[in-house]
Structure 1
Amino acid sequence: MYKYLAVSNEIENMIKSGRYKEGERIPSIRSLTRNYNCNKSTVISALNELERRHIVYSLPKSGYYVVTRKPNLTKGEKLILNFSSSAPDPEVFPYLDFQHCINQAIDIYKNDLFIYGTPKGLSSLIDVIQKQLANYQVFTNKKNIFITSGVQQALSILASIPFPNNKETILIEQPGYHLFIDYLETHKVPVVGIERTGEGIDMLELERIFKSENIKFFYTMPRYHNPLGTSYSQEEKKKILELAKKYDVYIVEDDYLADFEQNLKADPIFSYDDFSHVIYLKSYSKIIFPGLRIGIAVIPESIVERFSKYKSVLDIDSSMLSQAALEIYIKSGMFERHKEKIKASYLLRAKCLTSLLEKKIDSSNHIYKYSPLKNICVHTYIELDKKISCEKLINRLKKKSIIVDTADSSYLNSFPIKKSILKINVSNVAEDYIDEGINEIIQEIEYLSRKNFV
């Protein structure tokens, strides 16, 4: 065994035994070098290995801290594997870094944080966001950037305000974002759906809808679609924009997982527009933690004034403390460091998930099937035959401490084509347990299929 692995194992054992407690700083690199009678590079390699596995967490100019431990299960207790949650893994939340940024924000901004801000958001954060957006090929003026209380607030405002094209109906992909669907149906907003599959959407059908359905805007998740996990090709993105301009339809591009992109050439639809028809949305909930409630909306000049007015009526401003802390978090370089860490972790989980599904699901099987993703994602889906009871499947897996869910809530009540989809998300399942969980899921599907198809 390599020396650094022996050192990392020893430190991990001390964490498991409670010698180093959660949130506690472990000894310095110099101390560990003396303790294990090795050189500095060996200790650093050991700590990097523990950090990669999210057992310790580094804080610049401070040292290494215990972030989490494997769950301590009592005898007979089984670990719950949650394949339904799309929230980021709590084990990789940047607790210490962000706590430091919040404290700094209070020191720097003092009284400014405890008064009302502006509907647009903290101006110094907008300066930082403008530069960061350029990394995603989103080049825009500061006056067009709004800080919102998550993407959901931006969507509710866009659904409410009149657009220059004087149209009223919203088009959404099916399946699609369940919370936006809930909002539209609750508020009785005119809405129609277009089917999206593993192969994308039918461009002829999209053109027909644009031409005949009085579409105000098309809400789409081009990258890592939720719940399918699929992504549009660059050609598809350009074609969607071409049709939107032809029929004067706006595009609301929800790029909520932009930070996890592995393909550097995968640009958003916004990058092909002339700043007239695409509204770009980005969230920080999936990369940092959901409670941050900060989203970004890049709004075309034609609706900036209306958007600003509606937002000021809704909440005056988003949390100033969260905005100030995020500004410091990005400027300090902590965001980029955290992004690379969680991106690498999710890529390993995504590779593990997709390779398992490809290996275990026969492509000629018509009872349940998996369509391999061209751009692998931390979440995907298994399509089931209608004869397999999803309710029974979910209940049987629950008894085995495995949580799964269907995509039923991701469809409009009025949409005629509802596929039986089992969502599979590993953002909250450690890499070590993905194989075990997928095996159980496949076994239960096969058990129910034998009962129904024998």
Structure 2
Amino acid sequence: MVWKPEHKTGIPIYRQIMNWMVKQIEHGHWPAEMKLPTQRKLAEQLQVNRSTVIQALEELKADGLLTGKAGSGIYVSQPGWHELIHGAIPRWKERINQSLCQANSQTIQLINDFEKRTDILRLGTGELGPELIPSGALQGTMRQVAITERDFGYSEPKGHIQLRNALTDYLKTRGIQANAEQIVIVSGGIQALQLLSIGLNSGQLNMFHNSPSYLHSIPSITSTSITSLDKMKLKSNQSFYYVIPTLNNPTGISLSAVERQELIKACAAVNLPIIEDDVYRDLAFEKPPLPLKSLDHNGQVIYIGSLSKTVSPGLRIGWMVGPESVMDHLADLKMQLDYGSSAIPQLVAAEWFRSGLYEQHVSALKKQLKQRADFTEALLNTYFSDFAEWQSPQGGFYIWLRIKQPIVTKALFQLLLKQNILINPGYLYAPNDYEHIRISYSYCSREELARGLKKLAQELKARLGGINNEH
């Protein structure tokens, strides 16, 4: 019987195919210089998409086990075969695949690689465009802030006291009462999640969340989509409930005040702590309800904030707020990993909070984002209204665009990439979601948005036309 990958193992299909191909070489079934079947033939044999086969072949070519010959096909390489059979090199790929921290999906790796190119239209990028970053004001603060000799050394485990003190005042305006010892400075929301994931469990911590979720796009964090908290009681000792209550990534939806109260109550009933990721809160066009942390009277919520979305991702400034004993432990763990965040950007951030520069900047930024959101929605009405739907943005960066047919596939992503257009497909945020695209209006210029969205609409219409012609 011909081998085929299994779809319920949790191991990506392309990796299963890679492992199978390596075994064919190890066992001598595929000798050096053997020509492989065509990509189409392999896809038919293994009953997978051709793009999945291509991904596996490209990985093995990068490892030196396969080689491509122009106009001829793909072969088992002589050096790779010899080294694998005779054990001349460590099997690094095998070690990587056995790692507790899994690599990003191919789509995310391609996004990370191509975002650095200046000729790419980044329609899904989750960061501020260069013209929205207050670089001049930040440079001015850097020249003015007093930096001592000690600030050029290692920082305190929990972060610079000036920034933590400034954050206590900032958090009060959000209804959160916290002292400096309940705050840990991190290099952004991702580091906060990683510290929580490895620092508060006796095995492997699982984060529950509703779907779609940004958490699904971070494979190094174990997460599970759920529809009800009632079933989580038995697992709550090694679990958290992760939520972005204001301007969820990727949907842009915010929970109402009532929904926030109900969520706190439901999680408390099953003894499930909450991770509140609130990095978009200050970008809401209308004042949102108070954070979950402001409703927390029992140390149930760990709160995450950041300047990456509101000021600059290059500052690498974020923070966690929680019970002091938990923050003590996580600060100690952070010291083991990176020996503390740099004091210099912390001092800049502290000055921005203390002087009122932060509030002034955010007020102006929201107006600019609102203009961009309105412009983008007008483009969607022009090019997408007959085959897609969406909700008007409430703030932040994103519009969660739903195409009325499941055509947002990896093949579409790769086709657009060849046209220098980067999208963030729905399958990054929910398994098998081939209907959604996360559209960002925060990065591209108006001209780039107009050009990119027009091309995207044309490509989607062409695919929809092909489906209609088949019927």
TM-score by length of 1: 0.70
The SS at the match of 1:219 is strand
Query: How has the CA–CA distance of structure 1 residues 275 and 98 changed in structure 2, closer, same or farther, with 3 Å as cutoff?
Result: farther
Q: Unpaired segments of 5 or more residues in structure 2?
A: 1-117
Which residue of the partner structure matches residue 352 of structure 1? Answer: 375
The alpha-carbon deviation at position 83 of structure 1 amounts to: 0.6
Which residue of the partner structure matches residue 229 of structure 2? Answer: 207
The alpha-carbon deviation at position 348 of structure 1 amounts to: 0.9
- Where do 1:332-347 residues align within 5 Å? 332-347=355-370
The SS at the match of 2:254 is coil
- The answer to whether the Cα contact below 8 Å between 2:217 and 2:429 also exists between their aligned partners in 1 is no
Query: When the two structures are aligned, how many residues end up with a matched partner?
Result: 351
- Where do 1:176-191 residues align within 5 Å? 176-177=213-214, 181-184=218-221, 189=222, 191=223
- The answer to whether the Cα contact below 8 Å between 1:171 and 1:218 also exists between their aligned partners in 2 is yes
Which residue of the partner structure matches residue 17 of structure 1? Answer: none
Q: Unpaired segments of 5 or more residues in structure 1?
A: 1-77, 195-204
In 1, the alpha carbon distance for the partners of 2:291 and 2:392 equals 18
The alpha-carbon deviation at position 433 of structure 1 amounts to: 4.6
Aligned-CA RMSD value: 2.8
In 1, the alpha carbon distance for the partners of 2:120 and 2:419 equals 8
- Structure 1 residues 293-348: Cα deviation after superposition (integer angstroms, max 9, x where no partner): 11011012452332232222222211111111222233233222222222111111
Which residue of the partner structure matches residue 131 of structure 1? Answer: 169
- Where do 1:193-342 residues align within 5 Å? 193-194=225-226, 205-214=227-236, 216-342=239-365
The alpha-carbon deviation at position 370 of structure 1 amounts to: 1.9
* Residue from 411, 429, 435 that aligns with 1:420: 435
Name whichever of 286-295 and 94-103 sits farther off: 94-103
The alpha-carbon deviation at position 90 of structure 1 amounts to: 0.7
The SS at the match of 1:303 is helix
The SS at the match of 2:249 is coil
Query: How has the CA–CA distance of structure 1 residues 180 and 155 changed in structure 2, closer, same or farther, with 3 Å as cutoff?
Result: farther
Query: How has the CA–CA distance of structure 1 residues 378 and 146 changed in structure 2, closer, same or farther, with 3 Å as cutoff?
Result: same
- Structure 1 residues 419-438: Cα deviation after superposition (integer angstroms, max 9, x where no partner): 43212111112235534433
Amino acid at match of 2:309: K
The SS at the match of 1:381 is strand
Amino acid at match of 1:378: F
Which residue of the partner structure matches residue 51 of structure 1? Answer: none
Which residue of the partner structure matches residue 37 of structure 1? Answer: none
Amino acid at match of 1:120: K
- Structure 1 residues 177-214: Cα deviation after superposition (integer angstroms, max 9, x where no partner): 25872222xxxx4x3223xxxxxxxxxx3223323543
The alpha-carbon deviation at position 389 of structure 1 amounts to: 5.4
- The answer to whether the Cα contact below 8 Å between 1:218 and 1:252 also exists between their aligned partners in 2 is yes
Which residue of the partner structure matches residue 103 of structure 1? Answer: 143
Which residue of the partner structure matches residue 172 of structure 1? Answer: 209
2:197 aligned with 1:159, yes or no? yes
Amino acid at match of 2:251: L
The alpha-carbon deviation at position 130 of structure 1 amounts to: 1.0
2:467 aligned with 1:444, yes or no? no
The SS at the match of 2:127 is coil
The SS at the match of 2:228 is helix
TM-score by length of 2: 0.68
Name whichever of 246-255 and 216-225 sits farther off: 216-225
The alpha-carbon deviation at position 385 of structure 1 amounts to: 5.2
- Percent of residue pairs identical: 25
Amino acid at match of 1:128: A
In 1, the alpha carbon distance for the partners of 2:302 and 2:332 equals 17
